[in-house]
Structure formats: C-alpha cells, structure tokens
Amino acid sequence: MKKHFILAALAAVLAAPVSAQETKIDPLHADVVMKFAFSQAPKDWAGRVDQDETLKVCSAARNAPSAADAEKIMAREKAKIKYPDDGKLMGDWKQGERWAQSGYGMRFTDYPPRNPNGGNCYACHQMTQAEVSYGTVGPSLREYGKIRKYAEADVKAVYEKIYNAHAAFPCSLMPRFGSNAVLTIDQIKDLVALVMSPESPVNK
C-alpha cells in the first residue's frame, strides 16, 4: 500500500511540467523521492534520510540563513565536535592521503562495510601536486599548512573543519565527516596531518 503511494507520488513528480525559467519542486515531493531512493537502505540508516535541524534551515533558506539562524547552526554544530583523548590533532599524513583518495563506503550493497570509509576529499579539493584528478566544489588546499606557517590554531581549525564543516560555515557543502560518523577520530587526525604537516606533499 505504502509502496504504491510512493510510486504514484514519484510518477507525479516526474510528470510535473518543468518551466524554462525556474523549476519549482514541492519539498514534500522531494522528500518522497529521497525516501523512495533509499527504501532498500539498512534500517539504522533511516535517520540519515531525514534532514536534521541544520539541513532543514539551510534548505529552507537556500543556504543563505539569517545572521541569527547562522549563529544557532554554528553553535549547535560546534557542540557536536569531539576531540582526541590524547590531545594530539595530527596523525600520519601517508594514511591521510589514503583516506583523501578513497571514496569507499556508505553503500547499502556493502553492509556491514568490508573496508573503512574514505573521505573522498579530492572529489572537491585540489591537494597534492601529484594528483591531477580533483574537483573544484571546494577551494584548493595546495600548500594550506605552509601558507598558514603551520600555526597551532589553524591545525585545530582544520580538525574542526573536517569533523564538522558547519561549525564554521553554516550551510557548507562539505560533509560533516566526524559528526555523521563517516570517518573516525584517528582518520580525521591523519587527514589533518595531510593538510597541515610540513612533511606532507600538500605543502611541497
């Protein structure tokens, strides 16, 4: 019964006329299509299909929230950041390069996962000089640490950025790797080293 409703709603969305100027999509229909697309997903992923408060506010404001809403989002997301017990924010940049290259994980054909998730950083960022295949959704991170003189405050900012990108940029397009349990704290430390360590090829 429920499936038929979803299929009917999906058909209605697909059949809706598309205006040449702006496509107006009813948010309810978008929700139905999303849920349908993930109907085969493992049960404990259900929460990921529902937008949380931050994404709801960002979607409603088309990623341009009011100053007051932006403050609320950043405070809420910052509170979700967990730091390493040993206080060390940098791990092994060689492992970090592995996580940055890897787009593995979060597939429901691979559950429980056979390999650790990747961060897929190159999909959006330029990083090392050697890797010429990268996306440009995010800014280039070439020499990111070197430009900042490897300052401690910037090491912390990069850790927080990777853990929860919305803590500093309310409606960021970058995934919240730590808060959404895509990457572990140790993986995030390796990625901080890739971006911020003087030995890393990102800074050569």
Which CB atom, from 32 or from 202, has the smaller least distance to ligand HEC?
Answer: 202
The gap from C-alpha 57 to its chain's centroid, in whole angstroms, comes to 17
Is residue 191 part of the contact set for ligand HEC (CB under 6 A)?
A: yes
Per CB under 6 A, the list member of 10, 41, 61, 174 interacting with ligand HEC is 174
Which CB atom, from 28 or from 34, has the smaller least distance to ligand HEC?
Answer: 34
Which CB atom, from 41 or from 124, has the smaller least distance to ligand HEC?
Answer: 124
Residue 126 to residue 128: CA distance in whole angstroms: 7
Q: Which region, left, alpha or beta, applies to residue 24 given φ > 0 means left and ψ of -120 to 50 means alpha? A: beta
Is residue 176 part of the contact set for ligand HEC (CB under 6 A)?
A: no
x-or-dash string of contact with ligand HEC, 108-147, rule CB under 6 A:
-----------xxx-xxx-----------xxx-x------
Residue 142: how many other CB atoms lie within 10 Å: 16
**Helical ranges in the chain per DSSP H:** 2-15, 27-37, 46-49, 53-60, 67-78, 93-101, 144-147, 152-163, 185-196
**Residues at the contact surface with ligand HEC, assessed by CB under 6 A:** 100, 119-121, 123-125, 137-139, 141, 158, 161-162, 165, 169, 172-175, 177, 191, 195
